[in-house]
Amino acid sequence: MKLTWYGHSAFRIEVGDAAILIDPFLTGNPSWGKGWEEVAEGVTHVLLTHGHGDHIGDSADILKKTGAMLVANPEICRFLVSQGVDQNRINQGNSGGTVDCGGFTVTFTQALHSSSFPGEGGENIYLGNPHGLVLHFPNGESAYHMGDTDIFSDMALINELHQPSIGIVPVGDRFTMGGAVAALACQRYFKFDKVIPCHYATFPLVEKTADKFVEGMKGSATEVVVAEVGKPFEV
């Protein structure tokens, strides 16, 4: 499994014939800032955890350009269809559900957060429940992108049901759990082989580094991978 982090919560995952973008906030992302065109080359799927602008990002442009499949909750799917995305290329699901994406599956899990997008008149458009996403691949590999969330005890059930080997975990504090709490979640509820921190070093209001998470994971059997923005790595 090859991963590339583009800052914030944006990842590209490549397994077999699938090239997956999760939360492709690229244009306007201070950690990336190079646009979406190169990142979207060959993309087959776009997965969205929730409806905030720093997660939906460039999804509409990417989906219209590539014809990739959109995997998200019904509200986000309808919203992006209203932005010109092909309604025949949406694959919608909701909390607890699993969808077949042709070569892998995605399960929508709970996340403790919010989900909306600014409307043209200044009002917020409600975009459904926020989610984490568990990806299962035919070769037995699995990855859990937690989305934006705090710790919650039912993470233990997510591990029991899915046993994800790779974790992608928000650690930036203020809008998600901070590094120390994220480390507690990983150590108490999961048995990840490797874990990648995200949702930090983007904006002034969030943590500038993943240091608190790295410190909190000391002594764990889980390998912490502090990714470099734009540099692919194998897990």
With 0.75 as the threshold, say if the pTM is over it. yes
Average pLDDT score over residue span 68-94: 98
Evaluate whether 88 touches 77 at the Cβ level (below 8 Å): no
Q: What is the mean pLDDT of the chain?
A: 97
Average pLDDT score over residue span 94-98: 98
pLDDT tens for 61-72 read: 999 999 999 999
What gap in Å lies between CA 134 and CA 20, rounded to an integer? 13
For residue 120, what pLDDT is reported?
Answer: 83
Pick the closest to residue 142 from 193, 69, 72 (CA basis). 193
For residue 124, what pLDDT is reported?
Answer: 93
**What percentage of the chain has pLDDT greater than the value 70?**
100
Instruction: Kindly tell me if the per-residue pLDDT of 33 is higher than 90.
Output: no
For residue 153, what pLDDT is reported?
Answer: 98
Say whether domain 2-234 belongs to CATH 3.60.15.10.
Answer: yes
For residue 45, what pLDDT is reported?
Answer: 98
Instruction: Kindly tell me if the per-residue pLDDT of 121 is higher than 90.
Output: no
Helix (H), strand (E), coil (C) string for the chain = CEEEECCCCCEEEEECCEEEEECCCCCCCCCCCCCCCCCCCCCCEEECCCCCHHHHCCHHHHHHHHCCEEEECHHHHHHHHHCCCCHHHEEECCCCCEEECCCCEEEEEECCCCCEEECCCCCEEECCCCEEEEEECCCCCEEEECCCCCCCCCHHHHHHHHCCCEEEEECECCCCCEHHHHHHHHHHHCCCCEEEEECCCCCCCCCCCCHHHHHHCCCCCCEECCCCCCCCEEC
Instruction: Kindly tell me if the per-residue pLDDT of 122 is higher than 90.
Output: no
**DSSP letters for 83-104:** TT--GGGEEE--TT-EEE-SSS
Average pLDDT score over residue span 29-52: 97
Instruction: Kindly tell me if the per-residue pLDDT of 12 is higher than 90.
Output: yes
pLDDT band at 171 (very low <50, low <70, confident <90, very high): very high
Instruction: Kindly tell me if the per-residue pLDDT of 96 is higher than 90.
Output: yes
Handedness of CA 131, 90, 143, 198 (dihedral sign): negative
Domain spans in the chain, listed from the N-terminal domain onward: 2-234
Average pLDDT score over residue span 99-122: 95
pLDDT band at 38 (very low <50, low <70, confident <90, very high): very high
For residue 168, what pLDDT is reported?
Answer: 99
Helix (H, G, I), strand (E, B) or coil at 196: strand
The tokens 């410190």 sit on which residue? Answer: 215
What gap in Å lies between CA 104 and CA 71, rounded to an integer? 12
Evaluate whether 35 touches 27 at the Cβ level (below 8 Å): yes
For residue 89, what pLDDT is reported?
Answer: 98
